Amino acid sequence: MLSKSFMRKTITIAIIFCGFALHAFSTDAEYKLVRIETLTNSVRVRLPLTDVTGKVRVKEKSLDGFGLPVAPSKVLLGKKHYLEWQIGYDTPDPKDITVVPEIKFTRKGETKYGHELSKIIFEAVRLGLLSTNELVHEVELLKKNSTGTFEESRAVEVEVSTNTTADGFQSAVQKLPQFTKTTPHGSVQIQLKQKQRAVGYQAMIYVCLPMDELLAMDGSPRPPSKAKSKETVFYDFNRENGAFLVDIVHAFGIASQQHNEDIRKILGKILETAH
In this prediction, residue 25 carries a pLDDT of 42
Contacts of 169 (CB under 8 A, 6+ apart): none
Q: How far apart are CA 271 and CA 45, in angstroms?
A: 22
Q: Using the Cα atoms of residue 37, residue 102, residue 114 and residue 41 in order, give the sign of their dihedral.
A: negative
Length of the chain: 275
In this prediction, residue 7 carries a pLDDT of 58
83, 214 contact by CB (below 8 A): yes
The residues pairing with 35 across neighbouring beta strands, listed in sequence order, are 46
In this prediction, residue 24 carries a pLDDT of 42
Nearest CA among 269, 274, 249 for reference residue 105: 269
Whole-model pTM?
A: 0.85
For 186-225, b/e burial (b = at least 16 CB within 10 A) is bbbbbbbeeeeeeeebbbbbbbbbbbebbbeeeeeebeee
Divide the 275 residues of the chain into consecutive groups of 10 and give the mean pLDDT of each group: 58 55 55 91 95 89 92 94 96 93 92 96 96 96 83 82 72 86 95 78 93 93 94 96 95 93 96 86
In this prediction, residue 28 carries a pLDDT of 66
In this prediction, residue 21 carries a pLDDT of 43
In this prediction, residue 194 carries a pLDDT of 80
141, 148 contact by CB (below 8 A): no
Return phi, psi of residue 242, to 5°. Answer: -60, -35
Residue-by-residue DSSP string for 160-176: EEEEE-TTS-EEEEEE-
In this prediction, residue 199 carries a pLDDT of 74
3-class secondary-structure state, position 17: helix
Q: How far apart are CA 99 and CA 36, in angstroms?
A: 10
222, 214 contact by CB (below 8 A): yes
Contacts of 265 (CB under 8 A, 6+ apart): 105
